[in-house]
Amino acid sequence: MTLSPVLDRIDADLPLAVDRLLDLLRIPSISTDPAFKADCDRAADWLVADLASIGFAARKCPTEGHPMVVAHHEGPAGAPHLLFYGHYDVQPVDPLNLWHRDPFDPEVQQEGDRTVIRARGAADDKGQLMTFVEAFRAWKAVHGTLPCRITVFLEGEEESGSPSLIPFMQANAEELRCDLAIICDTGLFDSRVPAITTMLRGLLGEELTVHAANKDLHSGMFGGAAANPIKVLVRALASLHDDTGRITIAGFYDDVPELPEALRAQWQGLAFDHAKFLGDVGLSVPAGEADRTPLEMLWSRPTCEINGIWGGYTGAGFKTVLPAEAHAKVSFRLVGQQDPWKLREAFRDHIRAHIPADCRVEFHGHGNSPASVMPVDHPAFEQARAALTEEWGVPAAYVGCGGSIPIAGYFQDILGMGAMLIGFGKDDDQIHSPNEKYDMDSFHKGIRSWARILAHVAG
């Protein structure tokens, strides 16, 4: 099966592909709001029908929450079996007044020399998942079949914590297990370099409350003599880092690997402009570990960040009070083999050591997930990198991701299969924000990229 006529078909059918994406974007599949449950069902039905129209055996699978979509297509004997994952649910649109048009009335817009598709879900993740669906459609239209055996797995709860995902994967493990999972929910590096994400940081969230007196106290009557829980809290939080930016929790770095030199050199070759990266948000001086490059800190190093702190009187005017309690939220991004359960206890022990005898501290965990590292020894990684380089005319790179995409770890832990993350989003897509968009260039070249990847992986 030759690739060239498939690419030609993609180019010729792009207007139709855009129309299909706009149709899907009109469905307000907001998973976190029960008012949109019927719309999430409607989006799943739309995808089942679309996949069935190109020859997939597709079905909607009910869960305790929103349905999953699972579809299968056979390929040539001995061809690799690939699973493509995406999600059809979207973020809420609030604040609605900041949108320039109805977020579920999608429109193709011209912005200078760029054409964009503007709507909620355009980039996250409907536009992305439709890139691989349209690549399948073009292969089928030209050759009547696909070059690989394909399973499509689409969920409807990614934006609301995926409560049904793990039970569904466990119950359907045999059906979902393939040679390799492919996740299309990431982006280009610096909005221009095609990228394969091979590292995802894990996440640990903690909320703590420091208690002191049994009621708020008058600062004139008790100030100086009574413990102030805000003061206790900020001293404990300040002790989490030393002057070089290293995290001081005992054993915190025990399971943090050093970056391989080959990968370090590739990252250096990306010529990341940290001055612009920080300048775009009104900053100029890198924080964090003083002996690490900005990309290392963003992709391969763990963090400890204070996300919120409150206590006492914070309303208008002034109230001279020693509060009875003070609160904070702290999150950790994890790398390598760091164990979130072990680090949760180490963090709590660290804080307890800074609490005076007549105060007490209580903790509330906010979830955790370990980091994911995708081994690149599967031949599909280099095959995909070659395909992306051909399409974009820029050498594709292996990159890390500062965020967390738990599904990659679930594929490894539950199904025992590797995962490859490739996406075509850009830094200014405004995902989760008003006026989300997806560049037409990302959509078009994304479809062509998947067609090339299928050809390379099929050999």
Q: Is residue 13 part of a domain?
A: yes
Q: Is residue 218 part of a domain?
A: yes
Distances (CA, A) of 290 to 245, 263, 293: 6, 20, 8
* E strand or H helix at 61: strand 57-61
243 and 183 housed in the same domain: no
**CB contact burial 1-15 (16+ within 10 A = b; e otherwise):** eebeebbebbeebbe
Answer with the one of 314, 348, 369 that is the final residue of a domain: 369
DSSP string, 99-136: -SS-TTS-EEEEETTEEEEESTTTTTTHHHHHHHHHHH
Helices (H), 144-283: 165-171, 173-176, 219-222, 229-238, 261-269, 274-279
So what's the pLDDT on residue 177?
Answer: 98
pLDDT band at 368 (very low <50, low <70, confident <90, very high): confident
The structural domain count of the chain equals 2
312 and 427 housed in the same domain: no
165 and 250 housed in the same domain: no
Answer with the one of 369, 404, 420 that is the final residue of a domain: 369
So what's the pLDDT on residue 404?
Answer: 80
Does residue 161 carry a pLDDT above 90?
no
Range in 30-39, 222-231, 277-286, 323-332 with the lowest mean pLDDT: 277-286
Q: 217-242: per-residue pLDDT in tens? A: 999 999 999 999 999 999 999 999 99
- Nearest Cα neighbor of 176 from 156, 158, 155, 153 is 153
Predicted structure pTM score: 0.87
185, 427 Cβ separation under 8 angstroms: no
49 and 131 housed in the same domain: yes
417, 175 Cβ separation under 8 angstroms: no
398 and 417 housed in the same domain: yes
Does residue 439 carry a pLDDT above 90?
yes
Count other Cβ atoms within 10 Å, centred on residue 160: 18
161 and 242 housed in the same domain: no
So what's the pLDDT on residue 182?
Answer: 97
Does residue 375 carry a pLDDT above 90?
no
Does residue 96 carry a pLDDT above 90?
yes
Q: Is residue 307 part of a domain?
A: yes
Query: Which CATH number fits the domain that encloses residue 226?
Result: 3.30.70.360
Query: Which CATH number fits the domain that encloses residue 168?
Result: 3.40.630.10
308 and 334 housed in the same domain: yes
Distances (CA, A) of 362 to 213, 233, 311: 15, 12, 15
Residue 17 domain boundaries: 4-200+372-458
- Nearest Cα neighbor of 82 from 195, 198, 4, 176 is 176
- Average pLDDT value for the chain: 96
342 and 383 housed in the same domain: no
386 and 247 housed in the same domain: no
| Phi (first) and psi of residue 288, to 5 degrees | 85, -160
So what's the pLDDT on residue 459?
Answer: 87
> What is the rounded distance in angstroms from the CA atom of residue 256 to the CA atom of residue 339?
10
Q: Helix, strand, or coil here: 72?
A: strand
99 and 235 housed in the same domain: no
> What is the rounded distance in angstroms from the CA atom of residue 17 to the CA atom of residue 275?
38
